[in-house]
Structure 1
């Protein structure tokens, strides 16, 4: 992922660094706010270790944990998101620009932008967007500045897969090197692209949540947005074959789920089998939502089956819908279609 140090020394340097300082964050917070994370979140932060060489983590681990502690996240999921973003950023800083790991020094727009260009450009648009937002929030927290942020409605936050992509993912799923991974890859595709489930919803879905009747296949979604979602017919065979002869109480997507972070089991699929293409659950969901919009599904119904609360949530997806010619819809827009 990272270029050699010799190559990086040739790159343009950002603004000069202030005098070096030793990291000294207090658990009460550098901004004077005395809010602290709940004990369970503090344990998540203290026990976090990034997937980098042990010697590297020894150099940056305290900085990463202290920065997120100072931010005082209130849930374990939010803490993990900020830990992951900060760890990536700190690892890059330590390996390249050799900046002193002091939050008021390093959380600056110039460095964040350079990091996004040099490290994150190879990742999905959604991942880039989320990482930028989290690092900018860290910058605002430690420097009391307001960095320029991506617009929440920016279309780059939604990047559906093409039909060719999905065909490629099907082939990859069939090539996985054992039965459990093949099943997991097919379940991810079917529940993501066929029912629009979020990563956490796929991770917690059980075999018994999938029902088959004369009208087709439906998936019962539990959790924060409980609902019943009809499965797109394109993915019926994929899902039913993956769940055949398995106990109803068994998780549809098999694997270990860390407490408080069930979606980790979804990410593990790509880590365990890095030579195969593993789709993003977020982009599969986006693909499904855009498909429903293009098919003309009424907005109130789409909000319900997608587990969304507000029509404004659909704005990024509307931006990547198929474009239509007014000539083809003139009778509808003028009312003549209804007069027949």
Structure 2
């Protein structure tokens, strides 16, 4: 794991800001923007560090997504529903899928069950959700398309992007915006494999707030009040470390929930975090969030997890459920993705060398970092984009 020099730690801990008169103002994208288009870049498999024995998480089932055989002739979609793909999964995965029993009439479920199971077999190794949740999403979609709307049970029909757009935008169900986004993401992952000939399709925004838009300074203050104002010590600890590590060190939700106390090193020159997982690295907590983090794990033992129950053994993503059950007021939704985007935007605004940001963020896509300049209007120029791309190659300007 590559370590930072003392100078680099100082840059990451205390981003030097320009004079007040030219401090870039982080802004919001108007709510009318379209959603992300369907395409190969939309559903890439999550990286996974290694398989964990006995784990029911999809990351531990298969090293790579299944690639279904494409039929010749006019039919461009693989033959889902025969159990051929379902049978290719390892026993733990296939057993978890087979055990699922939806709240559907027996006749309706019998009709779509093999087809649904094969569809989940395609996407299970390529995403971070448990099999039960995948089955819930895919079963609901297939049932509505086939049993309710009467379309044929063919992969290139059921999982065509147009059908997915219709399904996730239904107005006869009381789904939250987040649930619709999750469904859309999972179904599009299947679509990329089983309907490879489908062209890109624009999706309307499911709400007016992008999950990648940085928080404002006021919103961060409100989120700190949310973290410190929880009703129990455990909730205060989990909320504090989630906010401090995501908004202060650029960690994602999966990394936060697997972090242990001995991974966090409090030194005289700042707090350094050893991050394991898909992108092992070190990150440095910005000074603004140091005290919140220290207050959060003050009573945590050295080997214990800092988020959630200290001795839990579950591996699924529990951050969303935690946030949903926290004590909430009038603050903005606490979203780890937006917290991480805020950390990136603040470092870009302070002109922190881009190679340092990438190293601490655990990302290898220089273009993504340059694209984040859109959230710093004064630096959203072709010249600054070229500067950021050059700095990702080690050609620092400061």
Aligned equivalent of 1:41, options 67, 70, 93? 93
Query: Structure 1 length normalisation: TM-score?
Result: 0.69
Matched, 1:265 2:318: yes
What is the aligned residue count? 291
CA distance in 2 between counterparts of 1:207 and 1:257 reads 14
Paired position in structure 2 for 1:28: 84
Paired position in structure 1 for 2:129: 80
Kindly indicate whether the alpha-carbon contact (under 8 Å) linking 2:123 and 2:190 is maintained by their aligned counterparts in 1.
Answer: no
Cα–Cα, structure 1 residues 312 and 252, in superposed 2: closer, same or farther, change >3 Å? same
Cα–Cα, structure 1 residues 103 and 257, in superposed 2: closer, same or farther, change >3 Å? farther
Kindly indicate whether the alpha-carbon contact (under 8 Å) linking 1:192 and 1:284 is maintained by their aligned counterparts in 2.
Answer: yes
CA distance in 2 between counterparts of 1:43 and 1:203 reads 27
Kindly indicate whether the alpha-carbon contact (under 8 Å) linking 2:97 and 2:135 is maintained by their aligned counterparts in 1.
Answer: no
Paired position in structure 1 for 2:217: 163
Paired position in structure 2 for 1:213: 267
Cα–Cα, structure 1 residues 181 and 278, in superposed 2: closer, same or farther, change >3 Å? farther
Cα deviation code 1:88-144 (max 9, x no counterpart): 46436757992358354432333322334347996369x83x653532342354455
Matched, 1:99 2:149: yes
1:1-340 aligned within 5 A: 25-29=81-85, 36-47=88-99, 55-56=103-104, 63=112, 66-70=115-119, 72-73=121-122, 76=125, 78=127, 80=129, 84=133, 87-88=136-137, 90-91=139-140, 94=143, 98-100=148-150, 102-104=153-155, 105-118=157-170, 123=177, 128=181, 131-143=183-195, 145-149=197-201, 158-255=212-309, 259=314, 261-262=315-316, 264-273=317-326, 275=328, 279-324=334-379
Cα deviation code 1:281-315 (max 9, x no counterpart): 22211111121111111111111111112313424
* 3-state SS in 1 of match to 2:148: coil
Cα–Cα, structure 1 residues 115 and 258, in superposed 2: closer, same or farther, change >3 Å? farther
CA distance in 1 between counterparts of 2:374 and 2:90 reads 39
- Structure showing the higher helix proportion among its residues: 1
**Unmatched tracts of structure 2, length 5 or more:** 1-78, 204-209, 388-398
CA distance in 2 between counterparts of 1:99 and 1:258 reads 42
Cα–Cα, structure 1 residues 136 and 235, in superposed 2: closer, same or farther, change >3 Å? same
CA distance in 2 between counterparts of 1:237 and 1:57 reads 54
Q: CA RMSD in A?
A: 4.0
Return 207-216 or 95-104, whichever deviates more.
Answer: 95-104
CA distance in 1 between counterparts of 2:132 and 2:158 reads 16
Kindly indicate whether the alpha-carbon contact (under 8 Å) linking 1:25 and 1:67 is maintained by their aligned counterparts in 2.
Answer: yes
Query: Structure 2 length normalisation: TM-score?
Result: 0.60
CA distance in 2 between counterparts of 1:253 and 1:131 reads 26
* 3-state SS in 1 of match to 2:250: coil
